[in-house]
Structures are given as C-alpha cells and as structure tokens.
Structure 1
Amino acid sequence: MNQRILDHPILGKQENSNYVSFTFNNNVYKGLENEPLAAALLANGIRTLRYHEESGSSRGIYCNIGHCYECRVTVDGKQGIRACLTPIKDGMTIESGHQLPTSVKDWRPENE
C-alpha cells in the first residue's frame, strides 16, 4: 500500500524516483533512497513503530524532529535509532521495539 504524496500542493512534484528496498519486522517494503525511515514507513501504511517498554501501548511518530524519541527502532541490529532522523538505505533491516517481559518497576529497589 503506497500512501506517498507524489504531487504536493505547496512542495510541488516529487522528483526523486530512486526506490530502495528495506525490511521492517520481517516484511519487505520500498522507500525513496535517503528519505527518513519514518517517512518511508508512513508511506507504506505503517503507523506503529514500536511499543512502550512497560505498558505495551503503541508508539509512532510524535515530534518528527528528533526531540522526543518516540520513533526509536532497531536498525541493522543497533537499538535506539530515531526513525525520523535516519535516512533509508537499500537493504536496511528495521525492527520495532517491544514491551519488556518484566515491568521496569520490578527492577527498582524496594525503598524507592
């Protein structure tokens, strides 16, 4: 499903047509080379980029300028990569974050 805007009323017509393939959670998608991962995922209909570590609630793009860290994903085995700031390259493997098996509060000392 391609939800990409190719002719924007203000930004004009999309000139870049160099598509690359990438994998997100074991599914193969296409995106425009060097566009942010978040944009490529959104264009492919993906809104949930990860799940909150403790509550398990879904997380997606929030600020889209690299301040909030809500769009953290794992890229080629490296965790904590912000999808809104990372340009897509051919062959990238991206994985969403998941809920931790144990609550974070269970790791805290009893006196806190």
Structure 2
Amino acid sequence: MRRIAAPAARNLSKVARVMFTADGDEVAARAGASVAAALIAAGRPALGRSPRDGRPRGAFCLMGVCQQCVMRIDGVRRPACMVEARAGMVVESLA
C-alpha cells in the first residue's frame, strides 16, 4: 500500500487571505474558500437560525442543494457554500 504525504507538509502560512464582514465581525478567509468554509474555520459553525424554532443551522451538504447555509451575501440570499469569499463582502445570517 502506498502512503501519500499529508498536506500539512507544505508551508500553508503563505496562503493568500481575504477579509470580509460577517454579522458585524471581521473574518479572515483563505483565498478561494467558500463563505461557509471560512466561517466554519473561524469557529462559527452556526450560519443562521431555523425560522420555525430558532435552532442554529449549519452547513449540511456543502454543495448548494440543501439550503441549510443560506445567508444574505452583499444583500442577496445565497447558499454560503457556493459563494467564494471576497475581500470586503458583507455577510449576514438570516432568521
């Protein structure tokens, strides 16, 4: 069986980062990451609240099908897993 080197062997500290605002807080994201991935990496797994009972909602499928991670991104309702994080964008939780 062949062993594959772990990605940690690379120098990841030189990865480009972008900053955006989520619910009034500044969030750093790796360039190319989705908004959902950036928020989860920043320690914010709850991306919104259920309109029915107010329970936290997080990312589920991470491919834009389930709509669990829908947020208001620059004023438009979009699945956060399908939007690439860009510098200066404004992200708001729903419900």
User: Which TM-score band (shorter chain)?
Assistant: 0.7 to 0.9
Mapped to 2, the partners of 1:25 and 1:75 lie a distance apart of: 11
Query: Is 2:77 aligned against 1:57?
Result: no
- Candidates 84, 88, 101, aligned match of 2:85: 88
Q: What is the rounded CA distance, in whole Å, between the counterparts of 2:82 and 2:14 in structure 1?
A: 18
**Which of 1 and 2 has greater Rg?**
1
Partners of 1:27 and 1:15 in 2: CA distance: 23
Where structure 2 has 5 or more consecutive residues not aligned to the other structure, the ranges are: none
What is the aligned residue count?
A: 90
Q: Is the 8 A contact 1:23 1:29 kept in 2?
A: yes
Q: Which residue of 34, 38, 41 corresponds with 2:39?
A: 41
Please give the root-mean-square deviation of Cα atoms over the aligned residues, in Å. Answer: 2.0
**Letter of the 2:88 counterpart:** G
Query: Which residue of 2 is the match for residue 18 of structure 1?
Result: 16
The structure in which a higher percent of residues are helix is: 2
Say which of 68, 71, 78 aligns to 2:69.
Answer: 71
Q: What's the % identity of the aligned pairs? A: 28
